[in-house]
């Protein structure tokens, strides 16, 4: 199967969701649901790096591709996610060009970056596949920089132009908070930031991404130019399903009480 990076380069729009429960079971369920990619969230999710291993193993048994959001652009965090088997890495809270360069350096091997070499890890099939993996890494690893701060808007063109940055991915909640317009997604300043992000990626031949809180917003954001689109999480799906079933049962119980009282 083609890598996400190749599919995006060929013009596809790819859909995914977040994994924030730290569960290999919900990772497998989401992977079988029809998403193109799943993102294990180590920034805000409940799992840690040990849980990550199990989630990536579960995802590998599904058609979905695994991405990981690390806690920061620290290269050791990036190394560990990629060594564990992630196809791409998302770095949050990037504020300027220098921080973006540090992130890129973490997911590229020398001479392009500073990613360390490790053989006995899942991504190299515990050694035998290292050479093939290393040679293909630059063309297959999806590098994602998050647009979540007001400061980063000043460097969008320079960041998008970096070799190794494939996606500028908007975090709507954090970006709107940084702009002082929290959750006001129709505010002119927020819309300007979205347009600036898409424009920067298109000038550089890269891709803009975003997470949608309401999947019904999809046509709007796709028309703007976003092509790596996420919506929901394993936690959302479980909470929504549980609330929906509990509410229906309560409605039936209440209607039964009303009939008994007649």
Q: Which candidate, 48, 38, 46, 47, places its Cα nearest to that of 16? A: 38
Tokens of 117: 């070499």
Instruction: Report the 10 Å Cβ neighbour count for 147.
Output: 29
Backbone angles phi, psi at 169, to 5 degrees: -115, 115
DSSP 125: T
44 part of the active site: yes
Give the C-alpha separation, 53 to 127, whole Å. Answer: 17
Catalytic residue among 44, 54, 73, 79: 44
The sign of the dihedral angle between the CA atoms of 257, 259, 260, 262 is: positive
Residues known to be catalytic = 44
């Amino acid at each position: 199967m083609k890598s996400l990076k190749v599919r995006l380069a060929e013009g596809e729009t790819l859909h995914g969701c977040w994994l924030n429960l730290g569960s290999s079971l919900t990772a497998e369920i989401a992977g079988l649901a029809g998403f193109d990619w799943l993102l294990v969230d180590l920034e805000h999710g409940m799992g840690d790096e040990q849980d990550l291993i199990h989630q990536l193993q579960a995802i590998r048994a599904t058609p979905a591709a695994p991405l990981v959001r690390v806690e920061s652009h620290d290269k050791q965090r990036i190394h560990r996610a990629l060594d564990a088997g992630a196809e791409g890495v998302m770095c949050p809270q990037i504020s300027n060009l220098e921080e973006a360069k540090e992130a890129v350096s973490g997911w590229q091997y020398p001479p392009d970056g500073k990613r360390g070499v490790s053989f006995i890890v899942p991504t190299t099939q515990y050694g035998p596949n290292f050479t093939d993996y290393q040679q293909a890494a630059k063309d297959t690893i999806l590098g994602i920089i998050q647009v979540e701060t007001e400061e980063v808007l000043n460097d969008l063109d320079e960041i998008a132009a970096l070799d190794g940055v494939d996606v500028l991915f908007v975090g709507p909640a954090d970006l709107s908070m940084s702009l002082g317009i929290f959750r006001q997604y129709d505010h002119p300043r927020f819309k300007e930031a979205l347009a600036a992000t898409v424009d920067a990626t298109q000038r550089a031949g890269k891709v803009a991404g975003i997470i949608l809180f309401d999947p019904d917003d999809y046509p709007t954001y796709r028309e703007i130019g976003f092509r790596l689109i996420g919506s929901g999480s394993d936690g959302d799906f479980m909470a929504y399903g549980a609330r929906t079933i509990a509410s229906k049962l309560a409605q039936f119980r209440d209607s039964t009480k009303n009939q008994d009282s007649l």
